[in-house]
Amino acid sequence: MFKNQTPGQLSLFAAFTSAASISAVVIGLSLFGLLAVSIKGILLLFGMVLVIDYYANYYFVRHYLYRKIKLIYKVIHRHKMSGEFNSGKVEMSRQILSDVEREVDEWAEKNAKEYEEMEKLATYRRRFIGDVSHELKTPIFNIQGFIYTLLDGAMEDPEVRTQYLNRAAKNVDRLQAIVEDLETINKLESGQMALDLREFDIFELASEVFSDLEMRAKDRNTRLIFKEGADKHFQVRADKESIHQVLVNLIHNSIKYSPEGGTTKVSFYDMESYVLVEVSDSGLGIAAEHLPHVFDRFYRIDKSRSRDAGGTGLGLSIVKHIIEAHKQTINVRSTPGQGSTFGFTLEKA
């Protein structure tokens, strides 16, 4: 009944209750002959008690309870207190207690979400730092070993010297690739990489990538083909160099992680305002538990096999960031033993 009453209404109710109670006692005493009071006197007493008690309750609510409520508001609204509280005044016609209850609920819910987000970011940061340290440690350790071996006397053997310097150079290249990929991701995430949006034929771009990777595909006896019936020309509007990088990464991965003699297939589908581009392979496939993480930084399904195959572990993460920078989507579906398909959308020109 009194859950949503204003302070003024509560003060009036309390004053009315007090005045009625005192008046009832006086009437009772007069009925028993213990006190001689006229009806006019009782009404006057009722009015006086009502007025005095109302202002007393009003003062109590305003100067005591309100100060307690104001402390709560200060905690909740450190930087954005309402104008009412900034001015030091309170509108007694407002339902202050219900407003405080609502504000506290909203504050608690907001802080719970912020805390959850902070926990996620902290977990991501710890994992990211651990992944970067792990990925950098291997080439650094290798370079260190090669150099110290040469300094310990192997430098005198020309064959060993050349072999170790070549190995050290490969690890330096790997370090450089990791740093460059991290820089690319940072630019994409921070919005520092401006996209040069223009119209081009996505089929022709995929054909160029096939030509670029032709020798690598031959080394693994892999066929690079367009899916029959889905090999149409489409004009899209995107950053051509970035999409070239996306296709190179996806097609190169399909070659690298498929068994020799496999097939890499590219398809294009008309989605009204968009074009769906799919890159499929006939590889080993990806287990269901790994699918949600394939675009994570440094995530490797088979760590030893993936590292032996080369790469920084950042390629798919870069692909995802590039597609999202175009405000488009990318996904993956896979069946173990049958292969995987990566698909992304682009805006039609």
* DSSP secondary structure of 74-123: HHHTSS---HHHHTT---TTS-HHHHHHHHHHHHHHHHHHHHHHHHHHHH
The model's confidence at residue 348, banded by pLDDT at 50, 70 and 90, is very high
**For the chain, percent of residues with pLDDT exceeding 90:** 26
Rounded Cα distance, 342 and 349, in Å: 22
Where do we find the tokens 């007694």?
A: 92
Mean pLDDT of the chain: 80
pLDDT tens track for 23-79: 888 788 777 777 777 778 778 888 888 888 888 877 777 666 666 666 666 666 655
Sheet holding 339-347, edge to edge: 223-226, 263-271, 274-281, 339-347, 330-335
Strands (E), the chain: 197-201, 223-226, 235-239, 263-271, 274-281, 330-335, 339-347
Could you report how far apart the first and last alpha carbons of the chain are, in Å?
Answer: 64
Q: Which residues are CB-contacts of 253 (< 8 A; sequence separation ≥ 6)?
A: 315, 316
β-sheet bridge partners, residue 35: none
pLDDT tens track for 108-150: 777 788 878 788 777 767 766 777 777 788 888 888 888 988 8
What would you measure as the largest C-alpha separation in the chain, in angstroms? Answer: 129
User: Domains of the chain by range and CATH?
Assistant: 7-94 (no CATH), 123-190 (1.10.287.130), 197-347 (3.30.565.10)
In this predicted structure, the answer to whether residue 92 has a pLDDT above a threshold of 80 is no
Rounded Cα distance, 278 and 298, in Å: 23
Q: Region 297-320: what's the mean pLDDT?
A: 67
Range ranked top by mean pLDDT from 210-214, 293-297, 334-338: 210-214
More confident: 146 or 2: 146
Please give the C-alpha separations between residue 13 and each of 5, 62, 338, in angstroms, as whole numbers: 10, 16, 77
In this predicted structure, the answer to whether residue 83 has a pLDDT above a threshold of 50 is no
Closest CA to 335 of 277, 267, 279, 288: 288
Residue 51 has, within 13 A of its CA and on its CB side, a CA count of 5
Closest CA to 219 of 193, 252, 192, 265: 252
Indicate the length of the chain as a whole number: 349
Per-residue pLDDT, 91: 52
Rounded Cα distance, 166 and 152, in Å: 18
More confident: 162 or 1: 162
Cα dihedral 208→214→215→219 (10° resolution): 150
In this predicted structure, the answer to whether residue 347 has a pLDDT above a threshold of 90 is yes
Beta strands 330-335; 263-271: pairing state: unpaired
Question: 348: which DSSP letter?
Answer: B
Burial group, residue 287, by CB count within 10 angstroms (0-12, 13-18, 19+): exposed
Global pTM value: 0.59
Closest CA to 319 of 295, 283, 291: 295
Per-residue pLDDT, 233: 92
The model's confidence at residue 302, banded by pLDDT at 50, 70 and 90, is low
Rounded Cα distance, 67 and 235, in Å: 67
Per-residue pLDDT, 152: 86
Contact assessment for residue 318 and residue 185, using Cβ atoms and an 8 Å cutoff = yes
In this predicted structure, the answer to whether residue 5 has a pLDDT above a threshold of 80 is no
Rounded Cα distance, 174 and 139, in Å: 7
pLDDT tens track for 221-275: 999 999 998 888 999 999 999 999 999 999 998 988 888 888 999 999 999 899 9
The model's confidence at residue 277, banded by pLDDT at 50, 70 and 90, is very high
Per-residue pLDDT, 303: 53
